[in-house]
């Protein structure tokens, strides 16, 4: 595993830890953001194992779907998790009147953990 992949996976783990701290403090908007970014960094790491570099969020999301979902390397639910977390983060960051519940935030964290684990397996299998 190259250094950039390794660093993105570390960043993904750090985002999960941050999300867990934030949800315990009832900071749901921020929890959603950290959960999404855990997925973002994990997906970036997985794509880097195929020498695919994307800079935009939409580029990472669509490339992840094309490279790993359409090829059957990971279950389609992971693309759904990623897109839903992105959409919820967008709403919570940019819309002034959005309510994020504990249940929604917790769902993002749990899905992010599962997503990061799936991406770690992709990264390990590419070695």
| pLDDT tens profile 47-98 | 999 999 988 999 999 999 999 999 999 999 999 999 999 999 999 888 877 8
- At 40 the pLDDT is 98
Whether the per-residue pLDDT at 38 is higher than 80: the answer is yes
- At 127 the pLDDT is 62
Topology of domain 3-125, CATH: 1.20.120
Listed by start position, the domains of the chain span: 3-125
- At 93 the pLDDT is 83
DSSP string, 61-118: HHHHIIIIITTTSS-THHHHHHHHHHHHHHHHHH-SS----HHHHHHHHHHHHHHHHH
Question: What are the backbone dihedrals phi and psi of residue 3, each rounded to the nearest 5 degrees, phi first?
Answer: -65, -40
Write down the mean pLDDT value for the chain: 95
């Amino acid at each position: 595993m190259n250094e950039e992949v390794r660093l993105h996976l570390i960043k993904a783990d750090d985002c999960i830890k941050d999300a867990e701290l934030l949800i315990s403090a009832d900071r749901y908007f921020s929890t959603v953001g950290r959960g999404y970014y855990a997925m973002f960094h994990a997906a970036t790491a997985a794509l880097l194992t195929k020498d695919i570099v994307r800079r935009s969020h939409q580029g990472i999301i669509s490339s992840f779907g094309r490279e790993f979902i359409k090829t059957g390397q990971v279950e389609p639910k992971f693309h759904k998790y990623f897109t839903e977390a992105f959409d919820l983060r967008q709403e919570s960051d940019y819309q002034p009147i959005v309510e994020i519940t504990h249940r929604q935030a917790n769902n993002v964290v749990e899905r992010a953990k599962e997503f990061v684990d799936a991406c770690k397996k992709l990264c390990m299998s590419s070695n």
